[in-house]
Chains A and B, each alone.
Chain A
């Protein structure tokens, strides 16, 4: 920390306190402004005609009846839209060998998944647009369907994109240490095939965009629920043939995101293009079926894993062979190879084991597109690693806590590096595990388990240690050529009544970004929290930056705001020094008052603002006040600020019905300096429950023709209040030295380890039956099959 200004020891600091979020009142009254709420003069609505086939040639489109239907403004085909919107290819240069095909906003001659848009109908109301969309006659010629990831890579599989040669989009291999020797010398080897269901984000507000082309300004204003406004500005400008200055992206309230809303969707690009084409505002709000068919899906991995261990419990090696399928296109611009790449990076990450071999393959299929969703790759890597560790412990008869204590990277071993080359500045696996074991009272749960087993009740405990990628540097996307900023900025201004206004480039989707920035700015400047106003989500007004994803808003955006606030305080104190004829370095600001070295209040921020703005004539002629300061921050010392933690699940399995009842869940997490403990806890709880959904409920079911069978909320199950346990959270704080605040991210930790803990707990509960389940979602059917109750 510079100048003794530790955020923790300043008397008026809000850092580390659970202050309420400034934007809650409007949301609690139903007075937020989501894109789906917005209307503009002359606004029209677009509905899309979507392919009912997973793979088909578009032989012809007859829009005659639709064009004359009530309210219809335009019917636009893919070929027509392609004249104003160029296609894209979702590859990055640092994902070596990754290939994909050009994707159009609306399919031009071929549809490649069920739900891909083949025509757009624009009308004065949404209902009229949907009515007319039903009148568009599309002639399809069905093409061979690649429905399954294994079929996609079979030697005789038809290539979805013949120009690419085959359906292998990406492959990565890694071989560290001496895996062969490790397995040869092992006392025990355990292996399993881990299967992960394809699931999706299910944001409660569907994707939505309102695009407004103003011919008089030659500018496009896009209202969108997005995590990355500047990225969208760049992409929309690039593909509509505009300068970035001609595109303004505005992001108001966002009804859930979780990674779903950080990508470029074909129908949203079409909406922007239609606004330009029709020279008026065009609104698109996905309905729930469209959400299931076109929001990115995630996971869908089959990963074979092997672990070598000796009799003493030392883990000697990990080996994995991972396969996933991403749909017909790699998503743009972040690409769909990132999840598999993360799996390779993260398997074995918490452990000191140096021997690690991995292969990951990414295939094209004719299912919906897949891409980054909360905790990208982490749940796969964690479930495989922690599942293997438990299997190894079982092989040698060692307690799951004990084998972890023996193999986790020691807390005094940092800086350290994983077998896959991930660099760790400082982690706290052992402190976290010790705290978790105490919080959950592990020995008591074991005793209860033993007692209940005698009564035919099967309860289990499952543990999962994890690492999480946060605060990504340019290593994530920038080095691969994507114009996705890893730097963020904040501009902090003292207004004319002494309040503080902060414009920042990170965004809010409910995590509490506004609260974090308000706390940081108030503490850095010395203002009271009620005098701080945060403005986000507008490319015309905020500094340039990446936005909110990959657990980066607090650690990167918060640091920029801290530095800007510190700079503004220095600028204010220069004015105060002149006004008070005092040395600025002997002054400070607390609770909106400039104080001297004795702590005496000398002048308020309101008075300083009044003098600067309205009576500059009373200041010396050679002095110019600057009551605004802008600072930026990008992580530099490490590619990622890794965090760590451990989760535990306590549950009961009904061996007659296969139902799993979650009884308790614990998380101990280390996200560095905690800026707001309540927000961290709620990020973790929300993340855990998304992981519980993956563990027990969520799966996009497809048939052999690649038709999604459960594209509605009644059949696609998500965790509801009654299925979810209370979740207890504990913390270890190991700040990063890469920033002044020392904050790392916490947004994905819950999701990273929850499913692994649940699966390990189920296997623990059913250990008397020798059951070894490794597939999620763990449905009652899978449990009963494993128990031999049903075939």
Chain B
């Protein structure tokens, strides 16, 4: 029996009827067509399906769509269009901090969450905070570089 839900996704009001067993990542991908939220393991380990739920990064595969009723959800498409992480994305491109790109949406959201609470993280802190997001391609070094460079540039811009 589908349940009605009403939520805000990337600033747009969405109403839908969803199966209670459908997780948020499947809802975003299959019902809304927001395929930037990727499915990696579907058991909460890899971080590919990371989205923001009321401002906090969550695993889209560990949250049921019905749990997002009344919530505000931001996906990679939303934070791209709003320009919120344009500098971080540019740093990833400059540093080639992505290869296949499958982990990248989750990695960007995790990095942005770190930078919002810690404006000047050292490399060890960055590595620690990103250790819930699995990347098989890059070896992480370039990702750490890109996050570090973004933190520095943001600090510079504030001065």
Which residues of A approach B to under 8 Å, CB–CB?
Answer: 18, 20-21, 24-25, 27-34, 36-37, 127, 201-205, 253-258, 285, 287-288, 509-512, 678-679, 682, 685-690, 712-714, 718-724, 726-727, 750
Q: Which of these, A21, A690, A712, A719, contacts B96 with CB under 8 Å?
A: A21
Given contacts A713-B45, A722-B131, contact A27 B139 (CB under 8 A): no
Which residues of B approach A to under 8 Å, CB–CB?
Answer: 19, 21-22, 29, 34-43, 45-46, 48, 75-77, 80, 89, 92-94, 96, 98-105, 108, 123, 126-128, 130-144
A685 B38 Cβ-Cβ under 8 A: no
For A30, the closest partner residue in chain B by CB is: B36
Given contacts A202-B136, A288-B43, contact A24 B100 (CB under 8 A): no
B141 A253 Cβ-Cβ under 8 A: no
Given contacts A288-B43, A721-B133, A724-B139, contact A29 B76 (CB under 8 A): yes
8 contacts between A and B (CB under 8 A): A27-B101, A29-B36, A29-B89, A256-B100, A686-B137, A713-B41, A720-B133, A722-B130
Given contacts A24-B93, A510-B99, A722-B131, contact A714 B43 (CB under 8 A): yes
Residues of chain A within 8 A of B126, CB atoms compared: 721
Residues of chain B within 8 A of A27, CB atoms compared: 98, 100-101, 104
Residues of chain B within 8 A of A722, CB atoms compared: 127-128, 130-131
**Closest CB in chain B relative to A421 CB, distance in Å:** 33
A750–B39 alpha-carbon span in the complex (Å): 27
A689 B139 Cβ-Cβ under 8 A: yes
**Closest CB in chain B relative to A768 CB, distance in Å:** 29
Given contacts A256-B136, A724-B141, 4 further A-B contacts (CB under 8 A): A30-B105, A127-B22, A719-B140, A722-B130
Given contacts A28-B80, A255-B101, contact A204 B40 (CB under 8 A): yes
**Closest CB in chain B relative to A262 CB, distance in Å:** 15
A713 B39 Cβ-Cβ under 8 A: no
Residues of chain A within 8 A of B140, CB atoms compared: 689, 719-721, 724
**Closest CB in chain A relative to B21 CB, distance in Å:** 7
A719–B34 alpha-carbon span in the complex (Å): 29
Residues of chain B within 8 A of A254, CB atoms compared: 100
Residues of chain A within 8 A of B137, CB atoms compared: 256, 510, 686
Q: Which of these, B40, B89, B93, B133, contacts A288 with CB under 8 Å?
A: B40
Q: Which of these, B35, B42, B136, contacts A30 with CB under 8 Å?
A: B35
B42 A287 Cβ-Cβ under 8 A: yes
Given contacts A30-B35, A726-B141, A727-B139, contact A253 B41 (CB under 8 A): no
Given contacts A30-B80, A256-B102, A713-B45, contact A512 B96 (CB under 8 A): yes
A510–B38 alpha-carbon span in the complex (Å): 16
Given contacts A20-B96, A28-B104, contact A721 B45 (CB under 8 A): no
**Closest CB in chain B relative to A612 CB, distance in Å:** 35
**Closest CB in chain B relative to A715 CB, distance in Å:** 9
**Closest CB in chain B relative to A697 CB, distance in Å:** 12
A713–B136 alpha-carbon span in the complex (Å): 13
Residues of chain A within 8 A of B136, CB atoms compared: 201-204, 256, 258, 686, 690, 718
Residues of chain B within 8 A of A720, CB atoms compared: 130-134, 140
Residues of chain A within 8 A of B99, CB atoms compared: 256, 509-512, 682, 686
B141 A685 Cβ-Cβ under 8 A: yes
Given contacts A689-B139, A713-B46, contact A32 B101 (CB under 8 A): yes
B100 A724 Cβ-Cβ under 8 A: no
A127–B92 alpha-carbon span in the complex (Å): 35
Given contacts A718-B136, A722-B128, contact A205 B92 (CB under 8 A): no
B134 A30 Cβ-Cβ under 8 A: no
Residues of chain A within 8 A of B46, CB atoms compared: 204, 713
Ordered nearest first, which 9 A-B pairs have the shortest CB separation?
A: A30-B36, A27-B101, A510-B99, A510-B100, A255-B102, A30-B76, A689-B139, A722-B131, A685-B139
Residues of chain A within 8 A of B104, CB atoms compared: 27-28, 30
B35 A510 Cβ-Cβ under 8 A: no
Residues of chain B within 8 A of A203, CB atoms compared: 100, 102, 136
A678 B102 Cβ-Cβ under 8 A: no
Of B77, B100, B127, which is in contact with the most chain A CB atoms at under 10 Å from its CB?
B100
Residues of chain A within 8 A of B89, CB atoms compared: 25, 28-29
Residues of chain A within 8 A of B130, CB atoms compared: 720-722
A18–B94 alpha-carbon span in the complex (Å): 9
For B127, the closest partner residue in chain A by CB is: A721
**Closest CB in chain A relative to B123 CB, distance in Å:** 7
A607–B51 alpha-carbon span in the complex (Å): 48
B48 A29 Cβ-Cβ under 8 A: no
Of B75, B123, B137, B144, which is in contact with the most chain A CB atoms at under 10 Å from its CB?
B137
A27–B48 alpha-carbon span in the complex (Å): 13
Residues of chain B within 8 A of A285, CB atoms compared: 39
B105 A682 Cβ-Cβ under 8 A: no
A245–B132 alpha-carbon span in the complex (Å): 45
A625–B143 alpha-carbon span in the complex (Å): 47
A209–B46 alpha-carbon span in the complex (Å): 22
B36 A31 Cβ-Cβ under 8 A: yes
Residues of chain A within 8 A of B127, CB atoms compared: 721-722, 724
**Closest CB in chain A relative to B46 CB, distance in Å:** 6
Q: Which of these, A37, A201, A723, A726, contacts B35 with CB under 8 Å?
A: A37
Residues of chain B within 8 A of A713, CB atoms compared: 40-41, 43, 45-46, 134
Residues of chain A within 8 A of B35, CB atoms compared: 30, 33-34, 36-37
Residues of chain A within 8 A of B37, CB atoms compared: 30
B39 A36 Cβ-Cβ under 8 A: yes
Given contacts A28-B93, A688-B139, contact A253 B101 (CB under 8 A): yes
Residues of chain B within 8 A of A201, CB atoms compared: 136
A127–B22 alpha-carbon span in the complex (Å): 9
Of A685, A721, A750, which is in contact with the most chain B CB atoms at under 10 Å from its CB?
A721
A28 B134 Cβ-Cβ under 8 A: no
For B143, the closest partner residue in chain A by CB is: A721
A285–B42 alpha-carbon span in the complex (Å): 13
**Closest CB in chain B relative to A35 CB, distance in Å:** 11
A204 B100 Cβ-Cβ under 8 A: yes
Of A28, A686, A690, A750, which is in contact with the most chain B CB atoms at under 10 Å from its CB?
A28
